[in-house]
Structure 1
Amino acid sequence: MDGLRFVAIALVYLQHGFLGAINTLGLSPEVRDVIFRPFTLGETGVSFFFVLSGFLITYLILSEIKLNGNVDVFAFYIRRGLRIFPLYFVVVGWGILFYPPLKEAFGFSGYVEFGNPWLYFTFLSNFDVIGLMQAGTGAMSTNITWSVSVEEQFYLVWVVLFFYLRPNLYKYLFPCVIVISAVFRIWNNDNETVLYFHTLSVISDMAIGGLCAFWAIEYEWLKNAFKNANRSIIVLGYITGLVVVWFEHQLFPNWFSRFLPTVFFAFVILEQNYSSKSVFKMSNCKSLSSLGKYTYALYLLHPVGLLFCEIVFRLMSIDIDGLGLKILIGLLAFFVSMVLSYLSYHLLEKRFLILKTRFAHIKSGG
Structure 2
Amino acid sequence: MSKSSNTVYFPNLNGVRFIAAFSVLIHHIEQVKEVFKIPHFYDNHLIKSMGKLGVDLFFVLSGFLITYLLLHEKGRFGKINTRDFYIRRILRIWPLYFLIVLLAFFVFPHIPFFVPPNNEISFMSENFYRRLSLFLLVLPNIGFILYNSPYLAAQTWSIGVEEQFYYLWPWIIKNFSWKRLIITVTIFCLGTFFVFYVYYEWIGNTYYANNVPEIVRFFFSQFRIITLMTGGACAMLVYYDKKKVLNILFRKDVQMVVYAVLVICLATGFHINHINLEFYGLFFGFFILNVSSNPRSIVNLEYPWISYLGKISYGVYIYQTAFIVFGVHLIQWVFGKDLSTWSFNLLLYPLATGLTILVAGLSYRYFEKPFLDFKNRFSRHSTGR
| 1:99 aligned onto 2:108 | yes
For 1:6, the equivalent position in structure 2 comes to 18
Match of 1:124 among 139, 157, 161: 139
Shift of 1:243: 2.6
Q: Secondary structure at the match of 1:144?
A: helix
For 2:238, the equivalent position in structure 1 comes to 216
Cα distance change on mapping 1:97 and 1:244 into 2, 3 Å:
same
Structure with bigger RCO (C-alpha 8 Å, 6+ apart): 2
CA offset digits 1:87-110 (Å, max 9, x no partner): 111111000001223249968333
Alpha-carbon distance in 2 for matches of 1:299, 1:26:
21
CA offset digits 1:283-327 (Å, max 9, x no partner): 2x2321222110000100112211222332344361178523542
For 2:50, the equivalent position in structure 1 comes to 41
Query: Structure 1 runs of 4+ off > 6 angstroms?
Result: 104-107, 193-196
**What letter matches 1:345 in structure 2?**
Y
For 2:373, the equivalent position in structure 1 comes to 354
Shift of 1:338: 0.3
Show structure 2 runs of 5+ residues with no match: 1-12, 190-210
For 1:259, the equivalent position in structure 2 comes to 278
Alpha-carbon distance in 2 for matches of 1:65, 1:106:
47
| 1:243 aligned onto 2:242 | no
| 1:306 aligned onto 2:327 | no
Cα distance change on mapping 1:107 and 1:238 into 2, 3 Å:
closer
Sequence identity (%):
28
For 1:202, the equivalent position in structure 2 comes to 224
Alpha-carbon distance in 2 for matches of 1:118, 1:245:
38
For 2:168, the equivalent position in structure 1 comes to 157
**What letter matches 1:217 in structure 2?**
Y
For 2:357, the equivalent position in structure 1 comes to 338
Alpha-carbon distance in 1 for matches of 2:335, 2:115:
11
Q: Report how many aligned residue pairs link the two structures.
A: 338
Q: Secondary structure at the match of 1:116?
A: helix
**What letter matches 1:65 in structure 2?**
K
Shift of 1:27: 8.0
Show structure 1 runs of 5+ residues with no match: 182-187
Alpha-carbon distance in 2 for matches of 1:232, 1:67:
35
For 1:110, the equivalent position in structure 2 comes to 119
Deviates more, 1:217-226 or 1:105-114: 105-114
Alpha carbon RMSD of aligned pairs, Å?
3.1
Alpha-carbon distance in 2 for matches of 1:28, 1:8:
18
Cα distance change on mapping 1:363 and 1:109 into 2, 3 Å:
same
8 Å contact kept, 1:54–1:207: yes
Cα distance change on mapping 1:122 and 1:246 into 2, 3 Å:
farther
Cα distance change on mapping 1:357 and 1:105 into 2, 3 Å:
closer
- TM-score under structure 2 length normalisation: 0.78
Shift of 1:274: 2.6
**What letter matches 1:127 in structure 2?**
I
Shift of 1:351: 0.8
Match of 1:146 among 145, 154, 157: 157
Residues 286-325 of structure 1 aligned to structure 2 (within 5 Å):
286-316=304-334, 318-319=336-337, 323-324=341-342
**What letter matches 1:116 in structure 2?**
R
Shift of 1:24: 5.4
Shift of 1:232: 2.2
Q: Secondary structure at the match of 1:145?
A: helix
Shift of 1:21: 5.3
Deviates more, 1:58-67 or 1:266-275: 266-275
8 Å contact kept, 1:15–1:39: yes
**What letter matches 2:162 in structure 1?**
E
Alpha-carbon distance in 2 for matches of 1:279, 1:361:
33
Shift of 1:329: 1.8
For 1:185, the equivalent position in structure 2 comes to none
Alpha-carbon distance in 1 for matches of 2:326, 2:219:
26
Cα distance change on mapping 1:107 and 1:143 into 2, 3 Å:
closer
Q: Secondary structure at the match of 1:108?
A: coil
Q: Secondary structure at the match of 2:276?
A: coil
Alpha-carbon distance in 1 for matches of 2:42, 2:156:
29
8 Å contact kept, 1:271–1:278: yes
